[in-house]
Chain A
Amino acid sequence: AQKVTQAQTEISVVEKEDVTLDCVYETRDTTYYLFWYKQPPSGELVFLIRRNSFDEQNEISGRYSWNFQKSTSSFNFTITASQVVDSAVYFCALSETRDDKIIFGKGTRLHILP
Chain B
Amino acid sequence: EPEVTQTPSHQVTQMGQEVILRCVPISNHLYFYWYRQILGQKVEFLVSFYNNEISEKSEIFDDQFSVERPDGSNFTLKIRSTKLEDSAMYFCASSERQGTELYGEQFFGPGTRLTVL
21 A-B pairs in the complex with CB atoms less than 8 angstroms apart: A31-B102, A43-B89, A43-B110, A45-B111, A52-B103, A91-B43, A95-B103, A99-B48, A100-B48, A100-B97, A100-B104, A101-B33, A101-B45, A101-B56, A102-B35, A102-B43, A102-B106, A104-B42, A106-B41, A106-B42, A107-B42
**Given A95-B103, A100-B95, A100-B103, do A44 and B41 touch, yes or no (CB 8 Å)?**
no
Q: Does A72 make an interface contact (CB < 8 A)? A: no
Q: Is the pair A44, B56 in contact by a Cβ cutoff of 8 Å?
A: no
On chain B, the residues within 8 Å of A52 by CB distance are 103
Q: Is the pair A43, B41 in contact by a Cβ cutoff of 8 Å?
A: no
Complex-state Cα separation, A105 to B97, whole angstroms:
23
On chain B, the residues within 8 Å of A93 by CB distance are 43
On chain B, the residues within 8 Å of A45 by CB distance are 43, 91, 108, 111
Contact mask A79-114 → B, CB, 8 Å, 1/0?
Answer: 000000000000101010101111111110000000
Q: Is the pair B45, A44 in contact by a Cβ cutoff of 8 Å?
A: no
Residues of A within 8 Å of B, CB-based: how many? 21
Q: Is the pair A102, B45 in contact by a Cβ cutoff of 8 Å?
A: yes
